[in-house]
Amino acid sequence: MRRNDFALRGLRVVTVKELQDFTGSARMVILTALILITAASSLYTATNTMKTVVSEDEFLLLSLFTLSRNPVPSLLSFLSFLVPLTGIAMGFDVVNSEFQNRTLKRVLSQPIHRDVLLFGKAVGALGAMTVVLLALWMLVIGSAMLVLGLPPSTEQVARALAFYGVTLAFGMFWFLVAMFFSVVFRQQATSALVSLGLWLLLTVFWSMIAQVVATAVGGVGSFQAARLEVLLSRISPNTLFAESALALLSPSTRTLGVVMFTQLEGALMGSPLPFGQSLLLIWPQLSALVALLVLLFTASYVVFQRQEL
């Protein structure tokens, strides 16, 4: 099928509408409030801990993400939980609600390609998520300045921004998962449940499954088993996110996955890596995450393109 028309025609129209829908929906307002409240509570705890325990921390801004004190978890734990939920909440009905409301036929009889509609929805979601997370990051950086009394180092800001990007990609992963299911299933309840089911599987059960499979294949305690377990666990975007977060937020992280002693030889334990080195460390994780995004969007595209309206 050859196209003689401008392929992305109408993208801006869809994106603007979706952005308005996402940011204006009650669902998003509630989730954003939830994120900001939990973030504020864990930031409060973190700054208090910091004042009493660590007086001279080189990476104070970054430790705001990771510090926790019973019973309040760290901001990072909150994020790894709430960001996927936000993505799913935004995506689970993004296409099938248009089927159900019968708006799709009307919109697609206007001069716009089907895939542009899908793409516009994804871009709109990205925009909405960017805004929500940006608000959160401002809160963190603001708190850091409050505690420190002066702006954090460029190195820290760069790391925080890189983590912002990773979080965004992580959120988009779950949005695209939910969008895919909303293309596949006509019922919104089905797409919501399947998305949440997958989330539960990958978040709670995947590490167990990976362990069981790895020992079954490689034998108990073997090096093979350990490597297989790492490999399997990296299928889950949660692992990719957690590893990236670790490398970015704890600069002393030198290795991810199976640690071999040869790798540690000559390395001073505890001395931080420069930002570029940390990025290099998580390059595979980042690539995998981006590849997953592309894969998910393509899958939605293929299914959507073939559907009868």
Partner 1 sequence: MATERQSANVVTLRNLSKIYGNNTVAVDSLSLELRKGEVFGILGPNGAGKTTTIRMMLGLTEPTSGSIDILGMDPLRTPLEVKRNVAYMPDDMGFYEDMSGYENLDYTARFLGLGYDERRSRILAAVSRMRLEHRLSDRVRTYSHGMKRRLALAEVLVKRPAIAILDEPTQGLDPHSTAEFLTLIRSLKKEEGMSVILASHHLDEVQSICDRVGLFHAGRMDLSGTVDELATRLFGGKMEVVVEVGETGNRDVAKILGTIGGVSHILQEKEGVYRVTVDSDIRPGIASALVDSDVALYSMDVHRHTLDAVYQAYYKEVHDAA
Sites of contact with partner 1 (CB under 8 A):
1-6, 9-10, 13, 17, 101-103, 105-113, 308-309
CB of 187 to partner 1, least distance (A): 16
| Nearer Cβ to partner 1 (100/298) | 100
CB of 15 to partner 1, least distance (A): 11
Over its C-alpha atoms, the chain yields an Rg (Å, rounded) of 21
| Nearer Cβ to partner 1 (13/209) | 13
Residues in a beta bridge with 72: 69
| Nearer Cβ to partner 1 (7/295) | 7
Question: Which tokens is 274 given?
Answer: 């420069």
Amino acid in position 30? I
| Nearer Cβ to partner 1 (18/243) | 18
| Nearer Cβ to partner 1 (52/109) | 109
Half-sphere exposure of 154 (CA within 13 A, CB side): 2
CB of 3 to partner 1, least distance (A): 8
CB of 97 to partner 1, least distance (A): 10
Q: Long-range contacts: 246-249, Cβ < 8 Å, 24+?
A: 247/278, 247/281, 247/282, 248/62, 248/159, 248/162, 248/163, 248/166, 248/278, 248/282, 249/62, 249/63, 249/65, 249/66, 249/76, 249/159, 249/163
CB of 18 to partner 1, least distance (A): 11
